[in-house]
Amino acid sequence: MNTAAHDDHHGPEKGLLRWIKATNHKDIGTLYLWFAFAMLIVGGALAMGIRAELLHPGLQLMNPHFFNQLTTMHGLIMVFGAIMPAMVGLANWLIPTMVGAPDMALPRLNNWSFWVLPFAALILVSTFFMEGGAPAFGWTFYAPLSTAFAPDSTDFFIFAVHLLGFSSIMGAINIIATVLNMRAPEMRLMDMPLFVWTWLITSFLLIGAMPVLAGVVTMMLTDRNFGTAFFDATGGGDPVMFQHIFWFFGHPEVYIMILPAFGIISHILPTFSRKPLFGYSSMVYATASIAFLSYIVWAHHMYATGMPVAAELYFMYATMLIAVPTGVKVFNWVATMWKGSLTFEAPMLWALSFLFLFTIGGFSGLMLGIAPADIQYHDTYFVVAHFHYVLVTGSLWAIIAATLYWLPKWVGKMYNEKLAKIHFWWAMISVNVLFFPQHFLGLAGMPRRIPDYALQFSDFNWISSIGAFAFGLSFILFAYIVVDCIRNGSPTNSERPWYSAKGLEWTLSSPIPYHSFNTPPSRAQILEESQHS
Amino acid sequence: MVDMERKKITKGFWIKLVSVPILMFFFAYAMVPIYDVFCEITGFSGTTGRVEKERQYELNEERIVEVSFFASTMPGFPVQFGPKVNSMEVVPGKFYTTSYIAKNTTDQIVVGQAIPSVAPTNAALYFKKLECFCFNRQEFKPNEELEMVLRFVIEPEMDEEIRDVSLSYNFYKLDS
């Protein structure tokens, strides 16, 4: 495969074939983003089911087994179906335009890595209709729950995870090849915008971590069907080893979902503060350090398994260490805004809200990272509150912010600012009503993954559920805002809808042409648009 | 048009890039033996040690550790299994012998093996067995009752603060 094969372009095909045969990075980005949105709605619907059951104590709507299927599938769909594809979709749209490339390096691979996704999702969701129901062992699928005691549909789940892993690995290889080879020849690595940097580092996390996930589900598969005993104690295996291998993937995975979000925020805050990003190079180094540390802290998810004290201490200190580069990032974002001329358009509101709420999630993460304290918090709603603060008000917030920030450039039309602000405040208030009380529930001892609870938890659960329904509804408005912008938005009156925005993507005409940079941008242009002052 | 000045993707670059995920896939499998070695060195997961022959340790007769014995069988394993005595007071450094009793409750031949686990974790490393039925597969004739011997020592290097150690066996079925 080489780039010369794609020399001649004829513009997009018409109709459905345009999407099936898509090799253009923008078409594939669009596919990824709509797919992610569809999965967000599916995963969100499952979450509504969970919160409806938890509205009152007692069992009202479903039996515990079905409730377990809901929590499991909600987690899997949101992680692998919504957040990750949305980030890859943004990468497809933005990276070639940010590094001055005509397209992604490997367009056909790109097509393939998208088109396995809908089938993987279909296989995963179809398990609901199989005998024995969908996987019900939690999204972490701990053995032996997922091996000896799992429903037959687990083999379909394993196959779906393999496909999703393939998709992510191919996507990551494509991004690495694009950034390292298709970059404008005049662009040095340290001229690259932060979204590109964070995605490059994320890609290395992906090719390192996703194969380990593939390995662990393959072991599950052979344990279940071919008589091996990796996780079966009766055959000399060890279920605790499952947790080690799973979290060796699982911890880098959480940074796979958050690092691109860091990149997005590093673009939006400078634009609406009208100042260059503070501490560009320290941002790059901080991202790389977080990525490195993410590989050596996995067992902080396993304090309750009875590890030796020395191991608990090591994993605790290593975990605390991650707060340092993350703190550098938060400091840099705040310093970027310091004495800036701030305005509060919708993308800026989302970015600011990210800064506050992600930091809350980060702090609760530090609390959980303290081994002796975690024995108390382990598997309670405090954990649920923590990872929803970093994933919903972290990753998802950044995805929404990025959509509103770059959509006017992509389609050359402006979204409805008033509606976007209403949507922001609606989501911002409801998400806190939804997740903040879960901290209290967890500290009071309510375990996660249960369909029924003791009476003293009733009030906070009721509040949380009401917040959940309001938050769920807010996505209808978001879908309307996006569709309304694409169809009826007023044309933007400049190539830079945000006058203060910097970056090579803004030098292209609006809407962005089908092929981005036919000739690479010059050194002067790159420096003019770079993030460092 | 792709500009000619851009870098070409070389074959070496490809090989390097694709070999990372392939290597990481096998790394997941490599974690299995790594984990075994890790358990042996640290006693993590209750992995007990083994000694080849009896030797003399420095003794402190004042120091007493209580060892409790537990037993369980995997579901579907038709053997009644339990320790002969529930607990013993032992002096670290001395060798002791005790036994477990197992009875086949069916009139068929049953084959199984027991796996030991010691708690607390930081005692597992110093709990050494000279002789143990858990080293071998056990065959039960129909309705046979077996007395299975265990000879062990707790090494005096074990943390002085540990006063109670429990040893449990889980008996599981082997396909004969």
Measured between CA atoms, how close is A518 to chain B, in angstroms? Answer: 6
Contact of B48 with B116, CB cutoff 8 Å: yes
H-type helices in A59-193, by residue range?
A: 64-76, 84-98, 107-126, 154-181
Categorize the per-residue pLDDT at A446 as very low, low, confident or very high, splitting at 50, 70 and 90. very high
Q: Is A14 marked active-site? A: no
Q: pLDDT tens, A388-414?
A: 999 999 999 999 999 999 999 999 999
Say which of A3, A169, A308 has its CB closest to residue B42: A308
Which chain B residues have a beta carbon less than 8 Å from that of A201?
A: none
Q: How many CB atoms lie within 10 A of CB B6?
A: 18
Query: Which residues 310-369 of A are in CB contact (within 8 Å) with B?
Result: 311
Q: Is A329 marked active-site? A: yes
Measured between CA atoms, how close is B151 to chain A, in angstroms? Answer: 22
Q: For the residues A305-322, what does the mean pLDDT come to?
A: 90
DSSP code of residue B81: E
pLDDT at position B5 is: 57
B/e letters for B60-71, b = 16+ CB within 10 Å, e = fewer, are eeeeebebebeb
Q: Of A300, A439, A449, A502, which one is the catalytic site residue?
A: A300
Q: pLDDT tens, A158-205?
A: 999 999 999 999 999 999 999 998 899 989 999 999 999 999 999 999
Contact of A182 with A104, CB cutoff 8 Å: yes
SS3 letters for A18-56?
HHHCCCCHHHHHHHHHHHHHHHHHHHHHHHHHHHHHHCC
| Upstream peptide bond of B120 is cis (omega within 30 degrees of 0) | yes
CA-to-CA dists, residue A32 to A46, A114, A335, B162, angstroms: 21, 7, 34, 57
**A509 CB burial (10 A radius; 0-12, 13-18, 19+):** exposed
Categorize the per-residue pLDDT at A1 as very low, low, confident or very high, splitting at 50, 70 and 90. very low
Q: pLDDT tens, A350-375?
A: 999 999 999 999 999 999 999 999 99
Cβ contact, residue pair A211, B21, below 8 Å: yes
Whole-number Å distance between alpha carbons of A246 and B122: 25
CA atoms within 13 A on the CB side of B146: 18
The verdict on pTM exceeding 0.90 is no
Asked whether the predicted pLDDT for residue A302 surpasses 80, the reply is: yes
Cβ contact, residue pair A241, B28, below 8 Å: no
Residue of B nearest to A173 (CA): B17
Q: Is CATH 2.60.370.10 correct for B48-173?
A: yes
Assigned token pair, A452: 């029924």
Say which of B1, B27, B42 has its CB closest to residue A212: B27
User: What is the DSSP code string of A505-521?
Assistant: GGGS-SSPPSS--SSPP
Q: Of A162, A251, A388, A496, which one is the catalytic site residue?
A: A251
pLDDT at position A283 is: 96
Whole-number Å distance between alpha carbons of A219 and B172: 21
Categorize the per-residue pLDDT at B2 as very low, low, confident or very high, splitting at 50, 70 and 90. very low
Q: Is A500 marked active-site? A: no
pLDDT higher for A344 or B109? A344
Cβ contact, residue pair B9, A233, below 8 Å: no
Which chain A residues have a beta carbon less than 8 Å from that of B37?
A: none
Say which of B7, B35, B172 has its CB closest to residue A244: B35
Which chain B residues have a beta carbon less than 8 Å from that of A309?
A: 122
Q: How many CB atoms lie within 10 A of CB B10?
A: 10
Contact of A115 with A528, CB cutoff 8 Å: no
- Strands of the B49-50 sheet, one edge to the other: B49-50, B127-132, B145-154, B95-104, B79-83
Q: Which residues contact A45 (CB under 8 A, 6 or more apart)?
A: A472
Contact of B167 with B71, CB cutoff 8 Å: no
Asked whether the predicted pLDDT for residue A329 surpasses 60, the reply is: yes
Domain boundaries, chain A: 21-529
Q: Which CATH architecture has domain A21-529?
A: Up-down Bundle (1.20)
Q: Is A266 marked active-site? A: yes
Residue of B nearest to A248 (CA): B28
Asked whether the predicted pLDDT for residue B41 surpasses 80, the reply is: no
Flag the least confident range among A118-127, A351-360, B69-78.
Answer: B69-78
Assigned token pair, A427: 């989501």
pLDDT at position B139 is: 86
Q: pLDDT tens, B116-172?
A: 888 887 788 888 888 787 777 888 888 888 888 888 899 888 888 889 999 988 888
**A124 CB burial (10 A radius; 0-12, 13-18, 19+):** buried
Residues in chain B: 176
Domain boundaries, chain B: 11-42, 48-173
* Residue B174, phi-psi category: left (phi > 0), alpha (psi -120 to 50), beta (remainder): beta
Sign of CA dihedral A530, B3, B7, B9: positive
CA atoms within 13 A on the CB side of A274: 10
Assigned token pair, A524: 């002067």
What is the pLDDT of chain A when averaged over all its residues?
Answer: 93
Q: Which residues contact B45 (CB under 8 A, 6 or more apart)?
A: A238, A240, B39, B117, B121
Categorize the per-residue pLDDT at B36 as very low, low, confident or very high, splitting at 50, 70 and 90. confident
Query: Which of B53, B57, B42, B61 lies closest to B118 in space, CA to CA?
Result: B42
Which chain A residues have a beta carbon less than 8 Å from that of B43?
A: 308
Q: pLDDT tens, A485-511?
A: 999 999 998 889 999 999 999 999 888
Which chain A residues have a beta carbon less than 8 Å from that of B44?
A: 307-308, 311
pLDDT at position B129 is: 85
Measured between CA atoms, how close is A89 to chain B, in angstroms? Answer: 21
pLDDT at position B45 is: 65
Three-state DSSP state, B169? strand
pLDDT at position A75 is: 96
Number of A–B residue contacts, CB under 8 Å:
112
DSSP code of residue B176: -
Whole-number Å distance between alpha carbons of A480 and A419: 9
Categorize the per-residue pLDDT at A7 as very low, low, confident or very high, splitting at 50, 70 and 90. very low
Contact of A212 with chain B, judged by CB distance below 8 Å, is answered with yes
pLDDT at position A85 is: 97
Rounded to the nearest 5°, which phi and psi values hold at A151?
A: -70, 165
pLDDT at position B140 is: 87
Measured between CA atoms, how close is A143 to chain B, in angstroms? Answer: 15
Q: Is A253 marked active-site? A: yes
Residue of A nearest to B173 (CA): A234
Bridge partner residues of B150 (DSSP): B98, B132
pLDDT at position A2 is: 42
Categorize the per-residue pLDDT at A4 as very low, low, confident or very high, splitting at 50, 70 and 90. very low
Q: pLDDT tens, A189-245?
A: 999 999 999 999 999 999 999 999 999 999 999 999 998 889 987 777 888 999 999
Cα Rg of chain B, angstroms: 24
Measured between CA atoms, how close is B61 to chain A, in angstroms? Answer: 28
